[in-house]
Amino acid sequence: MIHSVVVGGGIMGSGIAIALARAGHAVSVVEPNECARARLNTGFAEHRWPSPELVPSVGADLQASAAADLVIEAAPEHAELKRALWRRIGTVAPETAILATNTSSLDVDDLAACVPNPARVLATHWFNPAYEIPCVEVAPGHLTSSAVVQHVMEILAAAGKRPVVVGNTAGFVANRIQFAAIREAMLCVQEGASPADVDEIVRSSFAPRLAALGPLANADLGGLDTYLAIFDVLRRAHGARFEAPAMLVDLVAEGRVGTKANAGVFDYTPQSARALAMLRDDRISRVLGAIRNEQGT
């Protein structure tokens, strides 16, 4: 059990606190806003806990970090606010405490420069709702020690998460992909599609496939030569943002057109290619079956 302090108890901080507490850690949440603190207390009281002593404590005083093993900052995504807050965290938290930011887009090194011993600083980027979504992107800065990365990966894995180390670049991996999709969804609405139709189309087309396999394995199953041809049409219709990536052009030129060639982004044997398609179909069927059951249809 470690003592973790979550600084900022909004959408993400409250979820991270629940996830860590559910894993058996002592959790304190530091939240300056009185209404937000009341919301946290209500939310925690309504939550189902395995035992009452797991319920995170809620307070306004950053001094709670003085006894922390791990501090996770989940304050608003404003660089200046975060820098000021990190300077304060750096003076209060023990120099041995691991300091993590939940930033979606800001530079880890910039925050690490605000505290003593930047080797213990990294980003842990959780997803909403943090107590349900398994992935946590772990982004070390330039100075982060590998022992700190390893320790955080172990804490997250033991909490039932799927931590993945990513590079310290704006948006890491998930938000670059997610925000590209959100941008196109909104452009479709701007150009005349109804918001409800856009959501329904995504929900009942490629979203269940993405719940089954990642976009790259899905592309291998779809055929990379076909994808390249589609990119070409999209680029001519919608402009440079649909330029096919060099990786796709090269793979197709090498004949690595996906599972049908036993080689695409990934390598396959005829057996593993068949197994992947069956896995996709099975998972899609179970995801859609669960939704149909929930809807009673």
Q: Could you list the residues that contact ligand NAD (CB under 6 A)?
A: 7-13, 30-33, 36, 74-77, 81, 85, 102-104, 125-128
Q: How many CB atoms lie within 10 A of CB 267?
A: 11
Q: How far is the CB of 212 from ligand NAD (least distance, A)?
A: 23
Task: Report, in Å, the least distance between residue 288 CB and ligand NAD.
Answer: 25
- In order, the DSSP letters of 255-297 are T--BGGGTBSSSB--HHHHHHHHHHHHHHHHHHHHHHHHHHT-
Q: Which is closer to ligand NAD, CB of 27 or CB of 261?
A: 27
C-alpha–C-alpha distance, residues 93 and 86, integer Å: 10
Nearest approach, Cβ of residue 62 and ligand NAD (Å): 7
Q: Least distance from C-beta 105 to ligand NAD, angstroms? A: 7
DSSP state of 104: S
> 13 or 222, CB closer to ligand NAD?
13
Q: How many residues does the chain have?
A: 297
> Among residues 36 and 98, whose Cβ is nearest to ligand NAD?
36
CB 92 within 8 A of CB 62: yes
Cβ-proximal residue to ligand NAD, closest one: 10
Residue closer to ligand NAD, measured from CB, 126 or 227:
126
Residue 290: both structure tokens together: 């669960």
